[in-house]
Structure formats: structure tokens, C-alpha cells
């Protein structure tokens, strides 16, 4: 299996034909794994797994022949490229620019929500893909400042209606149920999206200066949340508060988040 960057095999289908990818940071990690797809739809750079051969040279020699049949718009082939060359900067690095124009900022966080909507609802039929590490460091801005989500190292695919148990991701962006290693599902990504949206809009880091032990007592258990800017649109402030509710059942799903963000930005569905 060949992987590009920090990615993880979430799902395998042995009926798929092999695809080869050559990249400057490709490493051999296994054998006899059938490929999935590399998505760019809905603001995702999603590099999955590839059939392994004995040497990198063998993969290179097969690259052109094996990838010629791939023509779908949802597949991108990236020969001799690595993630940093595609993603010019992350949202974290772009805070200073982003916070100058709130509508621009909200447009970027809408794109993050659209990427999550694709993961939760469309990526794998009958399953939900949880990113589990939604934070500014894992969101890039490509050409035209189009948002690209990456780093699927902690991602998992689960059957709809099921849940996972265990900690994952950055503590300050993790939902309470995740930070306390309780069962969690797609609503955990919704919580993380809200913290990311707040961070990008405010230009600040959530819960900065709070230590790990205090985080559990004040945030995960006590329900402390960042203070929203009173100048932000009322609907946006309400959405953030809904999304970072301590009760996952009270959070909207990501599809509703997308609808509400488009209404805030007056974007046609």
C-alpha cells in the first residue's frame, strides 16, 4: 500500500481496479491493498490507498498506463506532488487576513462545513466518515483560497447510527464526549467545526492558557465555551452555540449547518 501524507485507509473494495500514484513523500507501508479514490469534490484532497509493488520504480513505470482510464471529476492524480505544494497555507496561518473580512471568513468556514457534509453523507454509501481532527492546522487554502481538508490519520468510517469510543484529535477542538472517551458520532465533528469557525472568525485560539486538568473541569464537564463577538451576525452566533452544545443530540447535523451558513451568507442552496 502506498500512502501520500498523513492519510489512512478507511474502507476497501477489492473489486476496484488498481490506481498508481507517485509522489515525493510516498512511502511503502504494506502489500496487496486495493485502491480507493482521491477526491477533490466539496473541498477535499483525499488520498487513499494504492496497490503496492516491490519498488518505487515499478510504480513509476506503471503510472501513466494505469491512470489513463481514470477520468471522473472526483478523482485527482498527483504525480510528484506533496500536500504542502498543493495547500499554500492553512487557515491557522491565514488568521490575520481572514479576520479582516467577516464575509470572506464565513465563506471559508462554510466550505469546511461542505467538506464535512460530503464525509458524513456521501463519501461512502451506507457509512459515515468521521474526520475526528477538525482544526485549523488540518485545513488548507488552495488556489483561489478554496478550502481543502486534509490529514485523515484519525478518521474512521462507521455505519450510520453507530458510534466510536476513545479520544481523538486536538483537545481544545474536541467535543466533550471525545475528550472524555465516551461514545461519539458525526456530531463530534460538528462541535469541532464550531470551535474552528470561532477561531478563524476571532483570530484567536480557543481555551488558550487552560491546562489539561482545568480543561476537563471547565470545558468538557463545566460547559465553558469561547465568548462570541457581539458584532457578529446573530444567526452565526446562534449557530455556533447550537453546534458546541455539550449534548450531541442538541447539535444540528452538518447538513443543517451548511443550510444555515448559506442563509447567513445569502448563498443559494
Q: Report the catalytic residues.
A: 133
CB 261 within 8 A of CB 243: no
Nearest to 196 by CA among 83, 43, 91, 94: 91
What b/e sequence results for 146-177 when a residue is b if at least 16 CB atoms lie within 10 Å of its CB, and e otherwise? ebbbbbbebbbbbeeeebbeeebbbebbbbbb
* Backbone torsions φ then ψ of 8, nearest 5 degrees: -145, 145
Amino acid at each position: 500500500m502506498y500512502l501520500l501524507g498523513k492519510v489512512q485507509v478507511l474502507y476497501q473494495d477489492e473489486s476496484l481496479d488498481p490506481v498508481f500514484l507517485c509522489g515525493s513523500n510516498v512511502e511503502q507501508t504494506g502489500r496487496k491493498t486495493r485502491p480507493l479514490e482521491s477526491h477533490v469534490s466539496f473541498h477535499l484532497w483525499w488520498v487513499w490507498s494504492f496497490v503496492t509493488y516491490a519498488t518505487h520504480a515499478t510504480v513509476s513505470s506503471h503510472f501513466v498506463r494505469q491512470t489513463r482510464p481514470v477520468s471522473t471529476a472526483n478523482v485527482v492524480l498527483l504525480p510528484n506532488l506533496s500536500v504542502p505544494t498543493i495547500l499554500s497555507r492553512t487557515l491557522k496561518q491565514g488568521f490575520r487576513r481572514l479576520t479582516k473580512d467577516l464575509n470572506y471568513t464565513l465563506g471559508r468556514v462554510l466550505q469546511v462545513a461542505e467538506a464535512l457534509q460530503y464525509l458524513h453523507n456521501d463519501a461512502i454509501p451506507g457509512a459515515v466518515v468521521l474526520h475526528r481532527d477538525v482544526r485549523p492546522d488540518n485545513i488548507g487554502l488552495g488556489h483561489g483560497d478554496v478550502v481543502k481538508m486534509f490529514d485523515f490519520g484519525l478518521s474512521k468510517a462507521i455505519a450510520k447510527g453507530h458510534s466510536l469510543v476513545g479520544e481523538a484529535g486536538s483537545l481544545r477542538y474536541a467535543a466533550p464526549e471525545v475528550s472524555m472517551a465516551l461514545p461519539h458520532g458525526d456530531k463530534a465533528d460538528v462541535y469541532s467545526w464550531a470551535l474552528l469557525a470561532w477561531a478563524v472568525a476571532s483570530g484567536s485560539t480557543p481555551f488558550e492558557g487552560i491546562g489539561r486538568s482545568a480543561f476537563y473541569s471547565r470545558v468538557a464537564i463545566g460547559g465553558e465555551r469561547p465568548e462570541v463577538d457581539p458584532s457578529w451576525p446573530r444567526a452565526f452566533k446562534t449557530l455556533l452555540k447550537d453546534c458546541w452544545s455539550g449534548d450531541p443530540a442538541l447539535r444540528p447535523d452538518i447538513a443543517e449547518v451548511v443550510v444555515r451558513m448559506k442563509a447567513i451568507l445569502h448563498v443559494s442552496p
